Amino acid sequence: MTDRKDIATPTRTKEILEKYGFSFKKSLGQNFIVEPNILTKIVQAAGLDKETNVIEVGPGIGALTEHLGRAAHQVMAFEIDDRLLPVLADTLSPYDNIKIVHSDILKANLPALVAENFSDEGRLMVVANLPYYITTPIIMHFLASEVKIDGLVIMMQKEVADRITAKPGTKAYGSLSIAIQYYMTAEVAFIVPKTVFMPQPNVDSAIIRLTRRAVPAVTVQNEVHFFKLVKGAFVQRRKTLWNNLLATYGKEPAVKEALEQALQVSGIDAKRRGETLTVAEFGKLSDAIYQFLSR
């Protein structure tokens, strides 16, 4: 299986594209990796072994997919572009542990497909080179899914990776950082230069490693309310927490009083900005507001 030449070289990639007359679609964010060493590092970052099942999104011509097939137990790859189905059937023909699903990952019945295609309940990882334009919705889709994903190792625009892994008090820190860090630990595994892609994107990429926490980063009374607060705190970054709270919850006297009491109980200064609050502080404030507004 491994004696075939890697797909991820400029020569082999060009051969495959010419054979099928394939042209890149900008609307699908198609950028193919043409450096096998990067793919080896991605597999290593994911810690894949023959006990691990993998979900991939956007396999392209199968460059990363074949590396996943070599390292993991079973691989299920979602490809939305029907032009790539015959290409993948050809390039991945040596691997009987890879299944291509022609579907939009955001519309697919993930629990049913996982049950149908993975024969055991081993570790489950998402490993993918995600299209830049839809990175965040795909990550949040996996986090909200009923399927228990143990971790995600994904390539994305470096700027988005910086936002996901950002710490409080930094410019990159925001509601996306908190939404993901609530469920997962997040770290940048390594940077990927734009020169290893065909066609070459305008920016560098990063491989990010997300590992599911045994329990969320903070225990809150109501998760929906917690995320409402977090989102509201960053609506206008330059404004104080107090101004954003009024914009989120309203300015009625009873509401203002409840917000004032919640801030006092939480020990959080209303003049602070949302970007200075830790996940734990958001949790404390969320519970206090929820309690005072429920009275």
Q: Is residue 129 a known part of a binding site?
A: yes
pLDDT, average across residues 264-278: 97
* Mean pLDDT, the chain, integer: 93
In degrees, to the nearest 5, what angle opens at C-alpha 254 toward C-alphas 276 and 283? Answer: 30
Q: Residues 205, 231: one domain? A: no
Q: Residues 281, 155: one domain? A: no
* CATH classification of the domain holding 77: 3.40.50.150
* CATH classification of the domain holding 265: 1.10.8.100
**Residue 201's pLDDT band (cuts 50, 70, 90):** confident
Q: What percent of the chain has pLDDT over 70?
A: 96
| pLDDT surpasses 80 at 279 | yes
pLDDT, average across residues 105-124: 92
Per-residue confidence (pLDDT) for residue 130, from 0 to 100: 87
Q: Residues 45, 169: one domain? A: yes
| pLDDT surpasses 80 at 72 | yes
| pLDDT surpasses 80 at 191 | yes
Per-residue confidence (pLDDT) for residue 190, from 0 to 100: 97
| pLDDT surpasses 70 at 225 | yes
Distance CA 13, CA 250 (A): 56
**Residue 66's pLDDT band (cuts 50, 70, 90):** very high
Report the range of poorest mean pLDDT among 66-75, 131-140, 155-164, 217-226.
131-140
Q: Residues 269, 233: one domain? A: yes
Q: Residues 123, 162: one domain? A: yes
Q: Is residue 35 a known part of a binding site?
A: no
Q: Residues 65, 135: one domain? A: yes
Q: Is residue 79 a known part of a binding site?
A: yes
Per-residue confidence (pLDDT) for residue 23, from 0 to 100: 79
| pLDDT surpasses 60 at 99 | yes
Let me know if residue 30 belongs to a domain.
yes
What pairs with residue 257 in β-bridges? none
Distance CA 255, CA 245 (A): 10
Let me know if residue 177 belongs to a domain.
yes
More confident residue, 178 or 132: 178
pLDDT, average across residues 123-129: 96
- Domain limits for position 277: 223-294
Number of domains into which the chain is organized: 2
| pLDDT surpasses 50 at 59 | yes
Six token digits for residue 126? 């998402």
Q: Is residue 139 a known part of a binding site?
A: no
Q: Which of 182, 212, 242 is the last residue of a domain?
A: 212
Let me know if residue 136 belongs to a domain.
yes
Q: Residues 240, 191: one domain? A: no
Q: What φ, ψ does residue 129 adopt, rounded to 5°? A: -100, 95
Let me know if residue 5 belongs to a domain.
no
Q: Is residue 80 a known part of a binding site?
A: no
Integer-rounded Cα Rg, in Å, for the chain is 22
- DSSP letter string over the chain? -TTSPPS-SHHHHHHHHHHHT----GGGT--EE--HHHHHHHHHHHT--TTEEEEEE--TTSHHHHHHHHHSSEEEEE---GGGHHHHHHHTTT-TTEEEE-S-TTTS-HHHHHHHH--S--EEEEEEE--GGGHHHHHHHHHHSSS---EEEEEEEHHHHHHHTPPTTSTT-SHHHHHHHHHEEEEEEEEE-GGGEES--SS-EEEEEEEE-SS-SS--S-HHHHHHHHHHHTTTTTS-HHHHHHHHH---HHHHHHHHHHHHHHT--TTS-GGG--HHHHHHHHHHHHHHHH-
Let me know if residue 258 belongs to a domain.
yes
Distance CA 68, CA 97 (A): 10
Q: Residues 252, 127: one domain? A: no
Q: Residues 233, 200: one domain? A: no
**Residue 1's pLDDT band (cuts 50, 70, 90):** very low
Report yes or no: 71 and 49 within 8 Å, Cβ to Cβ.
yes
Q: Residues 233, 208: one domain? A: no
pLDDT, average across residues 47-74: 96
Distances (CA, A) of 91 to 67, 132, 145, 239: 12, 24, 30, 53
Q: Residues 136, 278: one domain? A: no
pLDDT digits (tens, 9 = 90+) for 4-17: 679 999 999 999 99
Instruction: For residue 99, give the nearest of 74, 66, 76 by alpha carbon.
Output: 76
pLDDT digits (tens, 9 = 90+) for 135-183: 999 999 999 999 999 999 999 999 999 999 999 999 999 999 999 999 9
